[in-house]
Amino acid sequence: MGNIKLAYSTFGLTRLDFAAALDAVARAGYAGVEISFHRDQFNPFRIDDADLAQIRCQLDRLRIKPACVATASHFFNPMTPHEPSLMALEAAGRKRRIDLVKRGIHVARRLGAPLVTFGSGFIRPEHLARPDLDPGEQLAESIHECIAAIDDDEDITLLIEPEPGMYIETTDQALALVEQVNSPRFGLHVDLCHAYCSEHDLAGALEKAAPHTRYLHISDAQAGYNLKVINDRPDLAIDLNTARVLVHFEDDSEFLLLDQNHPVHFYESAPDRARQRRIEALMTQAGITRKLKNVEYSSLYAGPSALDDEFFTWMISQPGLSFDALERTRPIISWLRGGCSPQRVGQMVANTLTGIVHFHDIPGRGTLDFETCFRALTHGGFSGYGAIELYHHIESWQTALDDSRQHLLPLIEAAGASSRTTS
């Protein structure tokens, strides 16, 4: 049977300088730390080997293990995270991401970290415009180029992290990619929040993935208002049993919210006869009988709100749309969630396969059954670090750091004891 040791990601400690972040992780009693790339706190373009030698000395002095190097998705441009990806169609974009992963390998080499992790990225309009190109093949080729940067005698493994909305979203897709790449230097990184968002049989998926899993991310989550954005097209299929749909009319960038309880047309000008017929047809297809509400788009509040982290996390998980189209949805989500108006939807917005919100919460504050997850993983043979990743709680980092460990340690111990009893 396997065992799980707790680490903490520096991505949740970005209000501190890097040395202070490592000190905080050690003081809180964690066995390991995830080194996460960050433009200001840990920027691999500004850190040289002398800096890395100092960091390694600090890690040795603190007696905490550098569990993994995370080549952060938000690194290049925080407003367009995950871009460019390893499957970007333009070679220049792919090369930028490949270079970042290779820098992660160098950092891992200098610090003695055994793992380097990354995500696949999203299907974007550029991919939809080139159906003759296989993004999976491009992703695999980029991964092989990264693997080639690892020396034969080095104990460094690259990991793919499935994420809601990404090309690699589920554990089955990740396992298929691991098989496709077919290298002992490539494995699986499971984020429990992501798996909760993407797996209908969470425990079964985790146990199946466990033999190939080298690393975990840990955070809590809960059910939300599941809403997908889809460009209108003649063959558009609507199934409101899984999620509400925000239809984007590309010709004028207006939107139709298909929701059984409050359908809304967000318009800039009165719809012509053809648009009116299309709206009626979509509502009929969706089985909506309630009267349509019409809201003038220019009347929506488009400024900042306390819910911006929630909106941003929802927006970036929507594949197949341009960033300009996604930005146009922000005032609509704010209108629904009460960013600066009466709240019309009481749950956080989600865009996931299960309706769980992709929003990393402090363990114990959501509905994720960690003990069952840990039991499935250890029963499946997983041994290694689980890093708590709470970038949504950087302002309350001390509470997140302390409460997470306090909540999780008894559950890890209980899962381990249960696995030993059943073995």
What is the DSSP code string of 239-278?
-TTT-EEEEEETTTTEEEEE-SS--EEEESS---HHHHHH
Q: What is the rounded average pLDDT of the residues 407-423?
A: 81
Q: What is the mean pLDDT of the chain?
A: 96
Q: What is the rounded average pLDDT of the residues 389-394?
A: 95
Q: 116 has which bridge partners?
A: 69, 158
- In this predicted structure, the answer to whether residue 150 has a pLDDT above a threshold of 90 is yes
CB 55 within 8 A of CB 26: no
* pLDDT value of residue 77: 86
Residue 422 pLDDT class (50, 70, 90 cuts): low
* pLDDT value of residue 118: 98
* pLDDT value of residue 28: 98
Q: Which two tokens stand for residue 399?
A: 């509470």
- In this predicted structure, the answer to whether residue 360 has a pLDDT above a threshold of 80 is yes
pLDDT digits (tens, 9 = 90+) for 173-208: 999 999 999 999 999 999 999 999 999 999 999 999
In 3-state terms, what secondary structure has residue 359? coil
Residue 112 and residue 78: Cα distance in Å, rounded? 28
Domains and CATH numbers, the chain: 4-220+360-422 (3.20.20.150), 225-350 (no CATH)
Which of 8, 73, 40 shows the shortest CA–CA distance to 313?
A: 73
- In this predicted structure, the answer to whether residue 418 has a pLDDT above a threshold of 70 is no
Residue 75 pLDDT class (50, 70, 90 cuts): confident
> Which backbone phi and psi does 365 adopt, to 5 degrees?
-100, -5
Q: What is the rounded average pLDDT of the residues 54-69?
A: 98
- Rounded to two decimals, what is the model's pTM? 0.96
- Give the DSSP H/E element, type plus range, for residue 69: strand 65-70
Q: Which two tokens stand for residue 3?
A: 């065992």
Q: Quick check: bond before 84 cis, omega within 30?
A: yes
Tell me how crowded residue 346 is: count the other CB atoms within 10 A of its CB.
10
